[in-house]
Amino acid sequence: MADLFRPATRPQPRTATYEGFIACSDCDALWADKLMQQLERYYADKPAEGKHHFFQANKDESATYALAQTTIGALEASRSLIVICSPAAATNYQVNEQIRAFKSHHPARPVFPLIVDGRPGDEERECFPPLLKFELDADGSITKGPLDIEATDVSQGKDEPGRAAARIASNLLGLSSDKGAYSAPRGKRRSPRSRLASLMNLCIVLGLALIVVRSGPTTNEASFDRTLYLAAASLARQRGRRLTTARHRPPSSGSSRTVSRYFGTS
C-alpha cells in the first residue's frame, strides 16, 4: 500500500488535447473499450488533433511500476479523467498512479468514476482506488480526504452503460445534465413548446384521418396517405429538418403507408 502513495513523475507539457483519459485495470479493459467507443460518437463532428478524442493507456503498461511517457503526456493533455472502478482497479498500481498524475496537475478538472463491479466502502469488494478518495497537491501528496465521491454505478444493471457515457459527454460538452439530454448522441433537447406543437400536430392528423375514413371507401387510402405526408412535413419543419425524398415523397394513389413510417418510428 505504501507504493500507492509515492509521488509520480511530473510530466512535461504536451500540445495534444484529449477530452478525457480512461483509467482502468486489465480486468476492466472491455468496459473501457466500449465506453470509449460510445464517447467517441458524441464527438464525431468535432476535429481531433490525434486519432481519437479520448485516450486509453496501453494494456501492457499494467505490468510495470512506472507510467509510460505517452501515458504521462496524455494525462497532462486531458480535460478530464474517467476511472473505471472495480475491485481490480482499487488494487491496481497503474490506475492509482494515473489518478495521482492527473489530480496533481489538474486539481480543478473533472473526474468521472464509473463503477462496473464491487461496492464503495466494502472491505472485501472495495471498488474505489485509494487516491480517488483524496485531494492531492502538485507533488502528488495527499492534502485532504477522504472525499465524498459521486459515481455512476452500472454494476448489476443499476444503470445503463450508454446512459453513463451520455452523462459524461453531456458534462464535457456543457449540456444539461437532466435525463432529456441523454437520449441520443449529437442530439438536441427539445423544448416543452416544441413538444406541445408536435402533440397538437399529431391530434390534427388523427382528426383528419378520421374524417377521411368516413368520407367513403374509394378515396380513403390515397387521402389518408396524403394527410400523413402533410402532417409529417409539418412535424419536420417543427424539428428543423427536411423530409428525404426517398422516404417521404408525396404518396400516389393506391400506395400503402403507415403512421410509423411517416413519423420515423418504423
Residue 247 has pLDDT above 80, yes or no: no
Q: Quote the CA–CA distance of 139 and 131 in Å, as a whole number.
A: 13
Torsion (CA) 187, 192, 198, 199 in degrees, nearest 10: 130
Residue 232: band (very low, low, confident or very high) from pLDDT cuts 50, 70, 90: low
Measured distance between the N- and C-terminal CA atoms of the chain, rounded to whole angstroms: 56
Q: What's domain 2-182's architecture?
A: 3-Layer(aba) Sandwich (3.40)
Residue 137 has pLDDT above 70, yes or no: yes
pLDDT at 207: 60
Lowest mean pLDDT, pick from 65-79, 115-129, 168-182, 210-224: 210-224
pLDDT at 140: 84
Do 84 and 48 touch, CB atoms closer than 8 A? no
What radius of gyration do the chain's Cα atoms show?
Answer: 26
226-238: average pLDDT? 56
DSSP state of 250: P
125-140: average pLDDT? 92
Lowest mean pLDDT, pick from 48-62, 94-108, 121-135: 48-62
Residue 143: band (very low, low, confident or very high) from pLDDT cuts 50, 70, 90: confident
Strand pairing category for 20-23 and 81-85:
parallel
pLDDT at 229: 58
- Residue bearing the bigger pLDDT, 114 or 266: 114
Q: In the predicted model, what is the mean pLDDT of the chain?
A: 73
Residue 216 has pLDDT above 80, yes or no: no
22-42: average pLDDT? 93
Grid cell 425524398 is found at: 245
As annotated, the residues of the chain forming the CATH 3.40.50.10140 domain(s) are 2-182
What percentage of the chain's residues is helix, strand, coil (to nearest 5)? 45, 10, 45
DSSP result, 174-220: T---SGGGGSSTT--PPPHHHHHHHHHHHHHHHHHHHHHHHH-SSSH
132-142: average pLDDT? 88
What is the percent of the chain where pLDDT is above 70?
56
